[in-house]
Structure 1
Amino acid sequence: MIKGLYETHVQVSDLENSIRFYTEVLGLKLAYRDEKRPIAFLWIGDNKEFMLGLWEQKENLQPRHFAFSSSTEDILNHSADFLKNKNLKPYNFLKDGMDKPMVFAWMPALAIYFNDPDGNQLEFISILEGEGKPELGVISYEEWMKQ
């Protein structure tokens, strides 16, 4: 029955600002804006593949996390510059102060993180070939390639 995840929703403090961020900065396409409620829906990808819902919430904002699928090549070669050029700070979980992608060895997957204006934690992720190695934890891509 289940073939994938079609949509997710996040709370935002300023709907107009968030629409601008997700469309102008990240390149998503506005699908629908509800004029009766502070809600907007954005297309991710082509042909209505995936959807992101933005819900304006003025109080008790609860930041969330979600990941955009990406290619390994784009994450390795373009993600840090793409984010920095958009005035976004890329980060990883290696606690090394670097903005290089890391590998979740249990999956395995390559990933880099950044935040939206409301502190929602966003991620570019690419599943890597091969079997997971959970005993390695979170490591650099260079370390992963030595395995």
Structure 2
Amino acid sequence: MITGLFETHLKVADLERSMHFYGEVLDLELAHRDETRPIAFYWLGTRGDAMLGLWLEPPKRIQRQHFAFRSTVQDVLRAPAWLRERGLTPRNFLNDGTDDPMVFAWMPALALYFTDPDGHSLELIAMLEEQPRPELGVVSREKWESLS
């Protein structure tokens, strides 16, 4: 019955600012902007695969959320520099001041985080081909590679 996630929505305080962020900074393709109400939709990945909706709301009604963008291992590894080029601060899962992607060994997947203008936590994540090793928890990429 369920084969994936098609659409998710975020409440944003400034629709124009968020449209600039998701469209210009993150290079997402605008799918539709509804001029009759304050909302814009962006395609995630290939057109028709998944969508992100941005809904204008008063700042006091915005609750910070988290979601992850599917990516490739190569792109997650390139992401720290790519994000910094766009004026964004990449961070790892531990938020310890470093920006080297970390591995969630139970999946396993490589992940890196950053924040949008409203403080929503965004993640780039890529599944790894190795077998899951949940006993390792969350580890650095270097540790994962040394144990694989």
Are residues 128 and 146 of structure 1, via their aligned partners in 2, closer, same or farther at CA, if it must alter by over 3 Å? same
CA shift at 1:60, angstroms? 2.1
Aligned to 2:102: 102
Q: Give aligned-pair identity as a percent.
A: 56
Aligned to 2:63: 62
* Cα distance in 1 between the residues matched to 2:18 and 2:84: 18
1:32 aligns with 2:32: yes
Deviation at 1:46, TM superposition (A): 2.0
Contact in 1 for aligned 2:103/2:144 (Cα 8 Å): yes
Unaligned runs of at least 5 residues, structure 2: none
The one-character-per-residue Cα deviations of 1:25-65 (angstroms, maximum 9, x if unpaired) are: 00111111111211111111223211000011112211111
Structure 1: any 5+ residue segments left out of the alignment? Answer: none
Partner of 1:145: 145
**Aligned-pair CA distance for 1:94:** 3.2
Contact 2:93 2:111 in 1 (8 A): no
Question: In the alignment, is the contact (CA less than 8 A) between 1:94 and 1:140 conserved in 2?
Answer: no
Secondary structure in structure 1 of the residue aligned to 2:61: coil
Q: Deviations over 1:80-101 (max 9, x none)?
A: 0100000000001235421110
Q: What is the count of residue pairs matched by the alignment?
A: 146
Match of 2:72 in 1: 71
Task: Kindly provide the amino acid, as one letter, of the partner of residue 74 in structure 2.
Answer: E
Report the AA paired with residue 68 of structure 2. A
In terms of mean alpha carbon deviation, does 66-75 or 82-91 score higher? Answer: 66-75
Structure 2 length-normalised TM? 0.94
Quote the Cα distance in structure 2 between the aligned partners of 1:28 and 1:86.
14
TM-score between the two structures when normalised by the length of structure 1: 0.94
